Every structure is written in structure tokens, then in C-alpha cells.
Structure 1
Amino acid sequence: MQFTELEMRFSVLARLVCALLTLMAVVGFTANAKQLTITDASGEPLQHAVVELPQPVQTPDSVAIMDQVHKQFVPYVLTIQKGQQVNFPNSDDIRHHVYSFSPTKPFELKLYAGTPNAPLQFNNAGVVVLGCNIHDSMVGYIYVSNGNQVLISNARGVVQIPHNVDSVTVWHPEQQDEIASRKSVTLPSGVDSHTVMMNTEPPAPRNTFGERFGNNE
């Protein structure tokens, strides 16, 4: 079947219109958002900062995934809603023993390979620090929101905040403050960008998971 010249021109025009509408949508989103940049005390961008907005969202029906790849938790920081379930597949060819001391969700998944039979449900808001009883270098975090929208900063430390939001809370896994605390930030009105500084420190060397996280949450 061959297209007539008129049909070909119409097809090209339709694609151009679709591209224009997409561009307008992107520009419209940018125009209605302001940039929030999270940095450390030296001005370096902080990836993995969690920004919680005072905007309620519905708890997803989907099960979130905290994987284990190359002896690391993936993602390093997982954000979920209170009441959401999380599965902990082991994609390594070795076994892991995942657990948490955190009051938000203490649990233990004893030495296993593959995928546990059932996901775990996280009914309390807060921060859950994950470790592996076999591999001490494995540390991951689950940030459980109390039903509000959450964003996570990219490699440039940036998140896009709707213009109508005037206050947020910020959390980072390497913050100097207590691991479960959050920094309250009031956003200035009439500006398109704002920077938030977090005092951070690299995780201290440790021999066991419990030495760092067992008694200070």
C-alpha cells in the first residue's frame, strides 16, 4: 500500500504537532516549578537527599523493590509510602542475611538466595537502615513517608519543586544529625531556585552493622 503525497504531508504535520505539544508540556512543567539544590557544607551537591512535600499522595498498590547487586543494596535510598510493601530480591550469586534494627521496622530475612516468599509491609513512617549480617559493607536506607509526596535529589543535588509549595523537609543518609531527624526548610517566595545546605559526614568505618546503627536511632 502506497501513501499519497497528501497523506505523507499530513503524517509529517501530525508528528510535528505531537512534538510541539510535548515541548509545550515540558516547558509548562518547568515554568510551574522551582529548583531546589541540596549541598554539603563545602557546597558540593548531595545525591540521595530525600525532600518531602506537604502534599498528600495515595499509597501505591505496587510492591517496591530493594535489590541486592554486587554486595550493595540497590537503590541506595528507597522511598516508599506508609503502608506500602517492599520485596528484597537477591540478584547476587551468593546468599545475604538482611535485617534492620530501626524502630520504624525491625526485621530479619535470614540467609537466603533468590527472592523471599513474601514482601514486607512498612506501616510506620520513618527511616529504616538496612544491613547484611554476612557483608558488613552493605548499608541501605528505606525512607517511609507519612503519606506525603517525596522527591529524591539527582547527581547534581537537584529536585524540582512546584511553585505553590512553600515548605519542605530534607533528609540525607549521611547527615550529622540523628539518622531519623529531618531538616525543616521554608522556601522563599518569588524565587525560581533555592539551595539547602546539610551538614554531612561519611559513614564511619565499623566492624559490625550494630556498632553504628544498633543503639542510636
Structure 2
Amino acid sequence: MKSALVFTLLLSVATPGATASSTLTVIVLDSAGRPVRDAVVSARPQGSPGGVPRYAFGRSMSQRNIQFAPGTLVVPTGTTVSFPNYDKVRHHVYSFSKAKRFELKLFGRDESRSVTFNTPGTVAIGCNIHDQMQGFIRVVDAPFAGVSNEAGKVTFNGVPGGKVQLVVWHPNLRARENEMSIVAASSVMQVIKLPILKR
């Protein structure tokens, strides 16, 4: 059975005389109204110069308890990400993704390797030793980006007024490359249903 991803956009309107910026809140829910975590949302105000990041982002995806932590990481293009191993066992981290193919051969506890991500897109991460390990690095060139939390929420501060292009990605989103894009008006609340495979 398939469910839907509900994409809710709340963008406050700048008051007269105030700076032309807003707080943008995106809430991602499934069709039953339950929050969806680990959805990556990026925002690009129309006419904004370049994709210089205006958000906090991590630079590490560790191996801990035979898992990748965090399971989903969003970074701007050009970021070097470290892969420290905190497990007692060795890991062999790799990706065959179009955005970045790499292989970090066996390394043990308290060792680390790093990779630079220069191409926007999604990089699916695995371990050649532990098949159950799966992670995702979403590389973006938009000035705003974030990962939804347990409440399905992503908040961006200081977004310029006007229209904004939003891209939402989730590994179960039933769309090309697991992502969909909309252009939203800054003064209108929008509810958009996106198809997502059952989690």
C-alpha cells in the first residue's frame, strides 16, 4: 500500500519597513499526518546570487553501533566529509552513486577517512562488510538546506522575501531521483501532496 508525503510550507510575510527577509518553516508529514524525518529540503530564493550556504551543516558521517550517524547528511558543494570509525570492527565504506563514486577500504576503530563532494546530488553510502548499513549524503548548491527532524520540521531564517524554489528529497519519494521541486509564493500557505512509497 502506498502513502503520500504531505509537504506544508509556512512562510511569514515581512512587515512594512522591516528587512525583506522571513522565517521559512517546512513541515513534512505522511498521509496519516505522521511526521517524516530525514527528508532533505533545500530553498533557493528566486534571483538570489549563487548558492553560498547560509545554514549550519555537519562535516562528518561516523560509523557507530554498525550504523552511519547521522543516517542522512546535507552539505553544500565542495564540502569534505570525514568518516570516523567508532566501532570495534572494521568498515569498508563506498558509494556507486553518480554524484560521487568512492571507496574507503578497510579501516578500524578510531581511524578516519575523508571524501570531498563537488557535484550536487544524492550519494547513497554503504559498507562492503555490513550490508545493513545505509546512509545518504545530499549535496546541494542552494543557499538554504536542512534535514527534517522527528517532528518533520525544517526551519530557515533570513530567507529573502518573494518567491522561493523548494526541492524536497527523501529516499522513498516516488519521483525521478527521489526529489520534487516547486516554486512557492512567500505570502501564501501551500499544502502539496507528494507520492512516497510506504516506509
TM-score, with structure 1 as normaliser: 0.68
Give matches, 1:189-204, under 5 Å: 189-191=186-188, 193-201=189-197
Q: Measure the CA separation in 1 of the matches of 2:75 and 2:34.
A: 26
Q: CA deviation at 1:64?
A: 0.8
Question: Secondary structure of 1:46's partner?
Answer: coil
Q: CA deviation at 1:134?
A: 1.0
Q: Which residue identity lines up with residue 186 of structure 1 in the other structure?
A: V
Q: Measure the CA separation in 1 of the matches of 2:198 and 2:65.
A: 21
Q: Which runs of 5+ in 1 are unaligned?
A: 1-27, 204-217
- Give the aligned partner of residue 57 of structure 1: 52
Residue 106 in 1 paired to residue 112 in 2? no
Of the three residues 26, 43, 67, the one matched with 1:36 is 26
Structure showing greater relative contact order (alpha-carbon pairs closer than 8 Å, 6 or more residues apart): 2
- Give the aligned partner of residue 175 of structure 1: 173
Q: Measure the CA separation in 2 of the matches of 1:163 and 1:82.
A: 21
Alpha carbons of structure 1 residues 37 and 147: separation in structure 2 relative to 1, 3 Å: closer
Q: CA deviation at 1:119?
A: 1.9
- Give the aligned partner of residue 115 of structure 1: 111
Quote the sequence identity (%). Answer: 34
Q: Which runs of 5+ in 2 are unaligned?
A: 1-17, 46-50
Q: CA deviation at 1:153?
A: 1.2
User: Does the CA contact (< 8 Å) of 1:47 and 1:153 recur in 2?
Assistant: yes
1:73-95 CA distances to partner (integer Å, 9 max, x unpaired)? Answer: 00011111111101100111111
Residue 158 in 1 paired to residue 153 in 2? yes
Q: Measure the CA separation in 2 of the matches of 1:142 and 1:46.
A: 17
Alpha carbons of structure 1 residues 44 and 163: separation in structure 2 relative to 1, 3 Å: farther
User: Does the CA contact (< 8 Å) of 2:54 and 2:143 recur in 1?
Assistant: no
CA RMSD for the aligned pairs? 2.7
Q: Which residue identity lines up with residue 200 of structure 1 in the other structure?
A: I
Considering fraction of residues, name the structure with more strand.
Answer: 2
Alpha carbons of structure 1 residues 63 and 120: separation in structure 2 relative to 1, 3 Å: farther
Alpha carbons of structure 1 residues 87 and 154: separation in structure 2 relative to 1, 3 Å: same
Q: Which has the larger radius of gyration?
A: 1
User: Does the CA contact (< 8 Å) of 2:93 and 2:127 recur in 1?
Assistant: yes
Q: Measure the CA separation in 2 of the matches of 1:37 and 1:187.
A: 14
- Give the aligned partner of residue 81 of structure 1: 76
Q: CA deviation at 1:160?
A: 2.4
Q: Measure the CA separation in 1 of the matches of 2:24 and 2:65.
A: 37
TM-score, with structure 2 as normaliser: 0.74
User: Does the CA contact (< 8 Å) of 1:36 and 1:195 recur in 2?
Assistant: no
- Give the aligned partner of residue 130 of structure 1: 125
Q: Measure the CA separation in 1 of the matches of 2:186 and 2:143.
A: 22
For this pair of structures, how many residues does the alignment match?
170
Q: CA deviation at 1:186?
A: 2.8
User: Does the CA contact (< 8 Å) of 2:170 and 2:178 recur in 1?
Assistant: no
Q: CA deviation at 1:163?
A: 6.9
- Give the aligned partner of residue 184 of structure 1: 181
Question: Secondary structure of 1:32's partner?
Answer: strand
Q: Measure the CA separation in 1 of the matches of 2:24 and 2:142.
A: 22
1:150-182 CA distances to partner (integer Å, 9 max, x unpaired)? Answer: 12211111122447253311111222224x342
